[in-house]
């Protein structure tokens, strides 16, 4: 990989290495101009890899995949998994799988782990972190699961719910330092990383 070393990065040169509409909307909150590029990587876990190791590796791999195509940019990579008793929950994709997943999650605690990576190709700086957020689902009845899924259709979300929408009504409590980590892009930690790279936030 060949990076041109440039000390100054402007806010016009921030790239979010993601095709996720949820991460895009979150990043828009910071009021910085940016563009999105989808990294083409293999997201399969490695044997023996912990959830924390997985999200750190994938966040960095996404960021590096995009960074190698550009000079003098800041690239943001992120990856998230949801854990139920150390089992990684996949995105349900279908209504039936989402229903089954929420039935399992009723009255259970789930940990969302998000890997975050910021690469500055001008200085070759690489920052990587892992942020956890815990939620507790209340006891869910079959009819309210069905009503919720029909209204919000969260089939592309691990855990089969959207905390930024009606899904919050399914919860008993939320525990963590940054609620945006639950959606997939921890803005508190990301803001700190961007400041470290000389980006002035509004």
* In a domain? residue 75: yes
pLDDT of residue 12: 53
CATH number for the domain harbouring residue 179: 3.90.950.10
What is the rounded distance in angstroms from the CA atom of residue 149 to the CA atom of residue 197? 41
* In a domain? residue 117: yes
* In a domain? residue 111: yes
Contact indicator for 146, 98 with CB cutoff of 8 Å:
no
* In a domain? residue 154: yes
Contact indicator for 138, 172 with CB cutoff of 8 Å:
yes
- Among the listed residues 40, 47, 79, 129, the single catalytic one is 79
The SS3 call for residue 187 is helix
* In a domain? residue 201: no
Contact indicator for 56, 118 with CB cutoff of 8 Å:
no
Q: Which residue has the tokens 């190791």?
A: 53
* In a domain? residue 44: yes
Q: Structure pTM?
A: 0.88
pLDDT of residue 202: 72
Answer yes or no: 79 catalytic.
yes
**How far apart, in Å, do the first and last CA atoms of the chain sit?**
33
**Structural domain containing residue 25:** 11-196
Q: Looking at the 3D structure of the chain, how many domains does it have? A: 1
* In a domain? residue 202: no
pLDDT of residue 1: 41
* In a domain? residue 5: no
Per-residue pLDDT of the chain (202 residues; tens, 9 = 90+): 434 333 444 445 899 999 899 999 999 999 999 999 999 888 888 888 999 999 999 999 999 999 998 989 999 999 999 999 989 998 899 999 999 999 999 999 999 999 999 999 999 999 999 999 999 999 999 999 999 999 999 999 888 999 888 999 999 999 999 999 999 999 999 999 999 999 988 7
């Amino acid at each position: 990989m060949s990076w041109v070393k440039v000390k100054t990065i402007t806010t016009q040169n921030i790239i979010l290495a993601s095709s996720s509409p949820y991460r895009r909307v979150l990043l828009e909150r910071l009021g910085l101009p940016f563009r999105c590029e989808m990294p083409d990587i293999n997201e399969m876990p490695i044997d023996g890899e912990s959830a924390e190791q997985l999200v750190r590796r994938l966040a960095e791999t996404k960021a590096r995949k995009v960074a190698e195509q550009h000079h003098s940019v800041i690239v943001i990579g992120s990856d998230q998994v949801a854990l139920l008793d150390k089992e990684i929950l996949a995105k349900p994709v279908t209504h039936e799988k989402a229903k089954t997943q929420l039935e399992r999650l009723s009255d259970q605690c789930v940990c969302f782990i998000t890997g975050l990576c910021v690469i500055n190709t001008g200085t070759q700086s690489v920052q990587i972190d892992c942020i956890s957020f815990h939620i507790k689902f209340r006891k869910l009845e079959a009819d309210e699961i069905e009503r919720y899924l029909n209204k919000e259709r969260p089939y592309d979300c691990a855990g089969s719910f959207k905390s930024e929408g009606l899904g919050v009504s399914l919860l008993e409590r939320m525990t963590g330092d940054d609620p945006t980590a639950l959606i997939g892009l921890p803005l508190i930690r990301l803001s700190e990383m961007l400041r470290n790279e000389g980006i002035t936030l509004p």
